[in-house]
Amino acid sequence: MCGRFVSTTPLSALAEQLLVDDVRTDDDRPNWNVTPRSSVAIVAATPTGRSHESTRVLDRVRWGLVPSWAKDEKIGDRLINARAETITEKPAYRSAFAKRRCLIPVDGFYEWKVVPGQKAKQPMFIHRPDGALIVLAGLYENWKDKNDPDAQWIRSCSIVTTGANSTISAVHNRMPVILPPERHDEWLDPDNHDVESLRRLLVPAPEDALTFYPISLAVNRPANNGPQLLEPVVVEK
């Protein structure tokens, strides 16, 4: 599972690292406590009109996927993560997986560990050992309320998750799918509808890809934000 994450890398750096052609947002505010319904940065590929050519676009969308057939946008609150094991079967994700895939860049994410004898779960900050950007596999959708002629289109996304590797399993049994740079083109390609080939990308990251440390319970409150959330704490044994 992935229910909170950190997004502080500037748009200009995201565009450079992810080979973006077109930046369609100017919202460059850092966020150390990204929660569902937040506006999050994604990178998607849109066809140019020429055969097998596309443009990489960086934009912001709502976190919590709202399927095109949904009657209410509130369904997105339950669809922040898409399980890799059932992604081709669930109606909420099936079409997006085949046609609307994206990259979701993050600086790290939070997970909560059960500690024996401790009532509250211990929050952990999970990140790359070198502090580099983490690029997650995502899906996106476009939705509009059919009962409201004046309604605006809502773009939304979901993070793809898989079973945890041996490192993250010490904290939780699930983790987001992390895509290495050499797989970005394959994942984003709007002409790639080979779902079986795409499913083979949805595997746990190598054991040494991530590390973690305990942080304050302050992260539990969505209203709390700022770099102080990432300060390590000592956990009494």
pLDDT at 147: 86
Query: Could you give the CA distance from residue 118 to residue 217 in angstroms, rounded to a whole number?
Result: 13
Q: Whose CA is closest to 187, among 25, 23, 18?
A: 18
DSSP assignment of 159-179 equals EEEEE--TTGGGT-SEEE-B-
pLDDT at 224: 98
Please, what are the domains in the chain? 4-230 (3.90.1680.10)
Query: What is the three-class DSSP state of 11?
Result: helix
Mode of pairing for the β-strands spanning 108-113 and 211-214: unpaired
Active site residue 111: yes
* H or E element that contains 95: helix 91-99
pLDDT at 54: 82
pLDDT at 236: 73
Pair 147, 49: CB distance under 8 Å: no
Q: Could you tell me the pTM of the whole model?
A: 0.96
Query: Could you give the CA distance from residue 139 to residue 47 in angstroms, rounded to a whole number?
Result: 17
Q: Which residues contact 133 (CB under 8 A, 6 or more apart)?
A: 9, 14, 17, 105, 106, 107
Active site residue 2: yes
Pair 137, 202: CB distance under 8 Å: yes
Identify the segments of the chain with pLDDT beneath 50.
none
pLDDT at 237: 65
Q: How many other C-beta atoms are found inside a 10 Å radius of the C-beta of residue 93?
A: 24
Catalytic residue among 102, 111, 141, 157: 111
